[in-house]
Structure 1
Amino acid sequence: MAHPRANLFFLLSCLLCYSLNAFAGKSYYDILQLSKGASEEQIKRAYRKLALKYHPDKNPNNQEANKRFAEINNAYEILSDTEKRSIYDRYGEEGLKQHAAGGGGRGGGMGMDFEDIFSSFFGGGGGPVEEEERIVKGDDVVVELDVMLEDLYMGGSLKVWREKNVLKPAPGKRRCNCRNEVYHRQIGPGMFQQMTEQVCEQCPNVKYEREGYFITVDIEKGMQDGQDVLFYEDGEPIIDGEPGDLKFRIRTAPHYLFRREGNDLHTTITITLVQALVGFEKTIEHLDGRLVDISTKGMTNPKQVRKFKGEGMPLHMSTKKGDLYVTFEVLFPTSLSEEQKTNIKAIFG
C-alpha cells in the first residue's frame, strides 16, 4: 500500500501540472468546441462533425487540417473514456501521463492510431470517408459582426447579446421518433401485399421559450472578412434533432485612417508643396499605437505611393505580415503673390 505522503505528493504534482497545462494551449474541450459539462452524446456528435470535416481524405496536402484531425482524435479518445476524462478533469494532461506510467489505461491517448479511432467510431476500414449520416438539424444562425481594425490587428474579444428559442418541458405527451415500418399482409393463397405503416413513440411535450444572454466572441489576429467564429449547436433548436450552429461572420468596420485590402493596409497622407519639393519628417500612428516613420529627404510627386514592408495586417495563424502602402497627396496653394511668383521663376527658371 502506498505511503500517505507519496499519495499527497502525487496529488500536489498533478494539480501543479494541471494549473500549468491550463495556460499551455487549448484544452480537449476547446478542441472539440464543447463546454466542460458536455454529455457523452454531445461529445460523440462534436467528434463526428469535426472528424469528417478535417479527415485527410477530404483535405489532401493540407498540413493544418491533418494537425487538427490528430488533435480531434486525441481529444475524443480522452473525453469518450470515463476514467481518462475524470483524471483529465481533475489533473490535466500530466495526470494522464502519470496514470499511464503507473500502468493504467493505454497511455493517456498517445498510443492509439488516429485512423483506428475514426474507423471504430464510423465503422469500416481505411477507405474513403463516407458522407455523414442524415441528421435533422435546426437552422444555422449567421450574424454579420463589424469588428474594429485594431482588434483584427492585435486580437481581441467582443461581448454580443444573443437571443434565441430554447426548448422547455411542457404539459402532455407528443408523437416522436416516428419511422416507417414495412410489413406484409396476406391477401390470398400464396399472395402477399407489402404495406408501410408509420410508427411513433410517446414523448414528453416541449415548448419554445425565448432567452437572452451575452456571448464572448474571440477575434484572432489577421482574421479576414467572411471568416466565421463558430459556436457549435448554439443556433436554432429543433424538436427531435440537433440545434443548428451560430456563426459570427467577420466584417471589417471602417477606419478613419487605414483601409484594408487582404493582408495589406492603405492610407493617404497630405503634404504641402514645400514638403513635396524639399522632403519632410513625419510619422503616423499604427493600429497598435506605434509610430511609423514615413519621412523622406527626396521629392514626392502627387499621388506617389510608397510601400512599407511588414507594416500591414498580420496573416491569420502566421507570424508574417502584409505591407503598408502610403499614397501622398500634395496640397497646392490656392493663390500666389507677385513676389512669390517672381521668386519661384528665379528658382526654377
Structure 2
Amino acid sequence: MANRRGKLFFLLCALSYALAVVAGKSYYDILQVPKSASEEQIKRAYRKLALKYHPDKNPGNEEANKRFTEISNAYEVLSDSEKRGIYDRYGEEGIKQHMANGGRGGGGMGMNIQDIFSQFFGGGPMEEEERVVKGDDVVVELDATLEDLYMGGSLKVWREKNVIKPAPGKRRCNCRNEVYHKQIGPGMFQQMTEQVCEQCQNVKYVREGYFLTVDIEKGMQDGQEVVFYEDGEPIIDGEPGDLKFRIRTAPHDIFRREGNDLHTTVTITLVQALVGFEKTIKHLDEHLVDIGTKGITKPKEVRRFKGEGMPLHFSTKKGDLYVTFEVLFPTSLTEDQKTKIKAVLG
C-alpha cells in the first residue's frame, strides 16, 4: 500500500512539473543556463544576475526585486546536488514535498535571500565587482523590425570572437589568489589578497565564429539590451565580458513608433473628406483597423485609436494608434464642376 502511495506521489509530482514547465520559466531558464550546466556555470550565472538585479542597485524597481528573488530561489535549489536531482525529476512540487518532509531549507523555502547573497559573495555587491577581473563587454546595435517588436520574434546573428585555447609550454599567471585577514589593531582586521599561483598551462587566442539566436520580446523599447553573459571578450586569468545586443526599432514603410504609440498617415480624396468614407488599414499582425467615418475630415486631422499601438513590455496593455489624414485636392476643375460646387456649398 505504501509503495502504491509513493508511486502516486511521484506521478503527481511529475505531472505538476510538466504543468509548471508549460506555465512558466524553469530554474535553468531563470539563471540562463542549460540543464547540463556544471556547478561552476551555475555559480557564475547566479553571481552575474544577482549583481545586476540586486535591490541596492535597483531602488524602487519592483520588477528587478522580483527577478532577484527568482534568481536566488533558483540558485538555492540548483546549487544543492540533492535538491537539483529532485527538481530535475519532479519539479518545484517535488522540492516543496522534500522540504515538508524535513529536507534542508534555503532560498525562498526558509533561508533569507540576502543571506544567500552575502554568503556567496562574502561582502557587498560592489566589493565583488571590484575583485573580479573581466574582459571587455561587447555592445552591438541590433535593428529589430516593428513586426517582431509587436508580436515577438527572434533574429539569427553571426558572432566572431577570440577564444582562449591551450598552447605549448608554461606561463606566469595570476589565476589563483588567496584571501586572508591581517590584524592591524585591537579588534581591527584588514582583508588581504595574496597571489599563490606561479605557473599555468600556456594559452593562445583563436578566432571562432558561430550563430546566436537573439530573442526579441514584445514591446521592447529602443535601448533595451539582450545580454549573453560571458560571451564578450575573453581575458587571460579572468572572466569574459558580456555580449549585449542593444535593440533599435528599424524604419517601417507604414508605421512610425513613438514610445508605446504608433503613428501613420492616410491619404483620402476631397470627396471622402467632405462626405465620409469606409476604410481599413492592415496592422502589424495583419488584423484590420477600421478608420472610416461618416463625418467631415479636415486636412492634417489626427484621430486616435485606443489600444491599437505597441504592446507594453511585460504587460497586457497597449499604446494607441494615431492616424493623420492628408486630403488630396484636385489639381484643376472644369467650369461645370465649379458651378455645381458653388450651388452646393455657396
**TM-score of the pair, normalised by structure 1:** 0.87
Superposition deviation, residue 63 in structure 1: 1.5
Confirm or deny: 8 A CA contact 1:96 1:108 kept in the other structure. Answer: no
Confirm or deny: 8 A CA contact 1:78 1:109 kept in the other structure. Answer: no
Alignment-derived partner of residue 114 in structure 1: 113
1:58-73 correspondence to structure 2 within 5 Å:
58-73=57-72
Is residue 314 of structure 1 aligned with residue 311 of structure 2? yes
- The gaps in structure 2 that reach 5 residues or longer are 179-193
Alignment-derived partner of residue 223 in structure 1: 220
**3-state DSSP of counterpart to 1:167:** strand
AA matched with 1:171: P
Q: Give 1 or 2: higher helix fraction.
A: 2
> Percent sequence identity over matched residues?
81
Q: Distance in 2 between matches of 1:249 and 1:173?
A: 39
Superposition deviation, residue 16 in structure 1: 2.6
Superposition deviation, residue 71 in structure 1: 0.9
**3-state DSSP of counterpart to 2:58:** coil
Confirm or deny: 8 A CA contact 2:162 2:207 kept in the other structure. Answer: yes
Alignment-derived partner of residue 139 in structure 1: 136
Q: CA distance change for structure 1 residues 231 and 168 in 2, over 3 Å: closer, same or farther?
A: same
Alignment-derived partner of residue 90 in structure 2: 91
Deviations along 1:21-46, one digit per CA (max 9) or x if unpaired, are: 22121121222222223332332232
- The gaps in structure 1 that reach 5 residues or longer are 182-196
Alignment-derived partner of residue 278 in structure 2: 281
**3-state DSSP of counterpart to 1:23:** helix
Q: Which has the larger radius of gyration?
A: 1
Confirm or deny: 8 A CA contact 2:107 2:116 kept in the other structure. Answer: no
Q: CA distance change for structure 1 residues 52 and 68 in 2, over 3 Å: closer, same or farther?
A: same
**TM-score of the pair, normalised by structure 2:** 0.88
Confirm or deny: 8 A CA contact 1:170 1:205 kept in the other structure. Answer: yes
**3-state DSSP of counterpart to 1:133:** helix
CA RMSD of aligned residues (A): 2.4
The structure 2 residue matched to 1:239, chosen from 236, 247, 265, is: 236
Confirm or deny: 8 A CA contact 1:97 1:108 kept in the other structure. Answer: no
1:79-228 correspondence to structure 2 within 5 Å:
79-106=78-105, 109-123=108-122, 130-131=126-127, 132-177=129-174, 201-228=198-225
Q: CA distance change for structure 1 residues 173 and 56 in 2, over 3 Å: closer, same or farther?
A: same
Say which is worse superposed, 33-42 or 252-261, in terms of deviation.
33-42
Say which is worse superposed, 131-140 or 79-88, in terms of deviation.
131-140
The structure 1 residue matched to 2:253, chosen from 256, 261, 272, is: 256
Superposition deviation, residue 54 in structure 1: 2.1
Q: CA distance change for structure 1 residues 239 and 123 in 2, over 3 Å: closer, same or farther?
A: closer
Q: Distance in 2 between matches of 1:96 and 1:225?
A: 39
Superposition deviation, residue 102 in structure 1: 2.8
**3-state DSSP of counterpart to 2:323:** strand
Q: Distance in 2 between matches of 1:200 and 1:49?
A: 25
Superposition deviation, residue 320 in structure 1: 1.5
Alignment-derived partner of residue 50 in structure 2: 51
How many pairs were matched up? 330
Q: CA distance change for structure 1 residues 109 and 306 in 2, over 3 Å: closer, same or farther?
A: closer
Alignment-derived partner of residue 188 in structure 2: none
**3-state DSSP of counterpart to 1:121:** helix
Say which is worse superposed, 163-172 or 284-293, in terms of deviation.
163-172
AA matched with 1:92: G
Confirm or deny: 8 A CA contact 1:96 1:107 kept in the other structure. Answer: no
Is residue 266 of structure 1 aligned with residue 276 of structure 2? no
Alignment-derived partner of residue 185 in structure 1: none
Deviations along 1:40-95, one digit per CA (max 9) or x if unpaired, are: 23322322232233222232222112211211111111122121122222322122
1:330-349 correspondence to structure 2 within 5 Å:
330-349=327-346
Q: Distance in 1 between matches of 2:239 and 2:177?
A: 21
Superposition deviation, residue 306 in structure 1: 0.7
Confirm or deny: 8 A CA contact 1:101 1:107 kept in the other structure. Answer: no
